Amino acid sequence: MSTPPHHYVTASDGQRLAVRTRGNPDGPTLLLVHGYPDNSSVWDAFAAEFTADHRVVTYDVRGAGLSTAPEERSGYRLDQLADDIATVADHVSPDAPVHLVGHDWGAIQSWHAVTEPRHAHRFASYTAVSGPDLDHAGHWFRTRPDGVRAALRQAVRSGYIGFFHLPAVPEAAWLTGVGGLALSALERLGGGPHTPARRGTRDYLNGLALYRANMARRLLQPTERRTDVPVQVLAPTDDAFMIDRLQSNAGRWVTDLRFHRFHGGHWTLRSRPAAVASRVRALVGEIESGRPRPRPALTAQRARRHGGAFAGQVAVVTGAGSGIGRSLCFELAERGARIVAVDIDGPAAERTAELAGLLTPGAAAQRVDVTDAAAMDKLAAWVRDEYGVPDLVVNNAGIGVAGPFLRTSAQDWERVVDVNLWGVIHGCRAFAPMMVAAGGGGRLVNTASAAAYLPSRVYAAYATTKAAVLMLSRSLRAELADHGVGVTAVCPGLVDTGIISGARLSGLGEVSAAKDRLNRLYRLRGYTPDKAAARIADALDRAPEIVPVTAEAHVGLLLSRLSPGALRAAARLAPPV
């Protein structure tokens, strides 16, 4: 893949920056900023995804590639690097703002540019790939909003920064080839680039000044840097250098944030450029269309919320009109997600979306019957058009059926299978393909039940559907793992959701009395949908295979593995209904 010819642009301090332009001169302008120890050639495969309908501009950061290098370390400070970005933007697109994309150190300096009031108007949007704002990172380490463990995990991954501050040792590592071997190994994580990087010795050596001129002063004495520029943060699932929480923390400082994971490692923009390009193309298209997007007023409380684990993400939840589905919508919105509330009860879904929108603006409601495959496909297409590919899909809609097998009608069997099993299948079939096509990183969550592994003489129909959902989730998890899409089965125990009130009961005596007894049992258990939603949201950050909810769900899962005979014996006992 050939690199286009360059021309020079003079920076504010006299350094000469080698700039390259390619693509459609009539399309929106993308300005791509590379990281360390790369030069602008790292963008070649990515740029090829856009040249038909976008104007693509790359340049060698000072000290890299064909650009000149400052003699003093101060020439690499972030204020100057941000000025360089603005200078190039002014040169290539003097009459219109550009869409900025940065990777690694290119993302760090681009963050500094979009959070600089003098420069922010030059950028129509900004996409950061594997690189935080250093001031934001400094605040994150000092306040530790995601806990000490997360801060320690990031500190371990950032250990190389201390090495780069050692005098002469990093230079020796690069010159002897030892550093190059270590870098090649790290590049392979998450499916490394298929072609060697075109890096020169000066790229390795000069770029060390980026760390030495900026890291200590920015991390130890961070300032508050905010922006109204629409920002998209892309986080590879197998990034060797950064954890998700540090990057999603940007929601505390950005009024219009999108946060997406994608399957791959730190240099995926070289090995699988389409995964990154699809997200960038979606953002640029949204901004260029001029469609308004709700923006929250970042009060202190909202700033804390919007820096949560789901900041900037889109979550689709079925069965959102009540119970765990509604509570989960609120919990995810509280943690920064935009919610699409789906339910067969349209007004209930609208009420959920209305309340979720008070927590994070941009929520929407859709009335959909999950048993209708065509309707679910239509929902998925609508979500993709309005929000882009969702980051989280929760197939939660379900109904209850209780009674002995011999007293359960064929119609009841068909209905519970349609909603509890086919509803999940339709949701997975509608959304999984687009999540894979988007490069992975998304998550499917299917609501099963502790009944999936706790047999009972009076819940045969219900337990059968939930056991099927559990096995579907396990099988799908194995299938989609190579695509970077996670699948989790949620298995609640006795949660007071109100499901009994709408359940079909057969052979359990007078129906209303049986429902009263069951509802009383659930109320006495005292486990609310809000507690269940918090438990689920906490667990999703780890993307486990199964999330048992309530103590009896945990104990039942353990017994199903250690003593299935005891569960078979218990299944023969008459339940308290």
Residues taking part in catalysis: 462
Q: What is the 3-state secondary structure (H, E, C) of 325-383?
A: HHHHHHHHHHCCCEEEEEECCHHHHHHHHHHHHHHCCCCEEEECCCCCHHHHHHHHHHH
The H-or-E segment that residue 393 falls in is strand 392-395
Instruction: Return the number of other C-beta atoms located less than 10 Å from residue 243's C-beta.
Output: 17
List all residues 6 or more positions away from 193 whose beta carbon is below 8 Å from its beta carbon.
187, 267, 270, 271
Residue 251: exposure state from Cβ atoms within 10 A (0-12, 13-18, ≥19)? buried
Whole-angstrom distance, CA of residue 553 vs CA of residue 546: 11
Query: Which runs of consecutive H residues, i.e. helices, occur in 165-258?
Result: 169-176, 178-187, 201-206, 208-220, 244-248
DSSP β-bridge partners for residue 395:
446
How far apart, in Å, are the Cα atoms of 26 and each of 10, 23, 122?
Answer: 25, 9, 18
Phi-psi region of 407 (alpha: psi -120 to 50; beta: other; left: phi over 0): alpha
DSSP character string of 121-161: GGEEEEEEES---HHHHHHHHHH-TT-HHHHHHHHHHTHHH
Q: Name the residue with tokens 């490069």.
A: 439
Q: Quote the Cα angle for 567-570-572, to 5°.
A: 120
How far apart, in Å, are the Cα atoms of 330 and each of 11, 258, 301, 313, 387?
Answer: 48, 18, 16, 14, 18
Whole-angstrom distance, CA of residue 19 vs CA of residue 4: 10
Whole-angstrom distance, CA of residue 396 vs CA of residue 3: 49
Q: Are 577 and 518 in contact (CB under 8 A)?
A: yes
Q: Name the residue with tokens 């990515």.
A: 46
List all residues 6 or more positions away from 391 whose beta carbon is below 8 Å from its beta carbon.
259, 260, 261, 310, 313, 314, 315, 337, 441, 442, 443
Half-sphere exposure of 61 (CA within 13 A, CB side): 35
